Amino acid sequence: MAHKTIKVGLTGLVLSLAFGGLLYSTMGEATEYYKHVDEVMTQPGDWYGKKLQLHGYIVQDSILKRKNSLDYKFKVHSNGHIVEATYTGVVPDTFKDDAEVVLKGTLSSDGFAVSPNGVMAKCPSKYEAKPGAPTS
């Protein structure tokens, strides 16, 4: 009886370790932190090199696009904190001054480097009900 219990216990332990190792190896690389600009910029050194989804609003008149390219530089703010971001690629139609954005990328001492396809711009006014419109 004790021999059977040891076999079952070892099998359970091996399966648990295998499952835990698999989970760690697959989830470890895909983990991203979702943070607001002010949360990150209070102690930016703690976030250098980590994958982030950074939430904030584009600073008025900060969008700079290099001529004949898809290179963008802009600033994003939240609660008085600002970070400069760089991105190369196509931006959404709703990417404009004061737009609410979520950026995927990494932070360094040079600013926030946005990953390819890492710009998500929201336009809440487009989806808000007009005054006097019926609600369901």
Written as tens digits, the pLDDT of the chain (136 aa) is 688 888 888 888 888 888 888 777 776 666 788 999 999 999 998 999 889 999 999 999 999 988 899 999 999 999 999 999 999 999 988 889 999 999 999 999 999 999 999 999 886 555 556 666 666 5
Q: What share of the chain is helix, strand, coil (3-state, %, to 5)?
A: 30, 40, 30
62: number of Cβ within 10 Å: 15
Cβ contacts of 109 within 8 Å, gap of 6 or more = 44, 48
Query: With a threshold of 0.95, does the pTM exceed it?
Result: no
Q: Confirm if 102 and 36 have CB atoms less than 8 A apart.
A: no
Residue owning tokens 């332990």: 13
CA–CA gap between residue 117 and residue 84 (Å, rounded): 18
**What is the reported pLDDT for 62?**
92
**What is the reported pLDDT for 9?**
85
**What is the reported pLDDT for 32?**
80
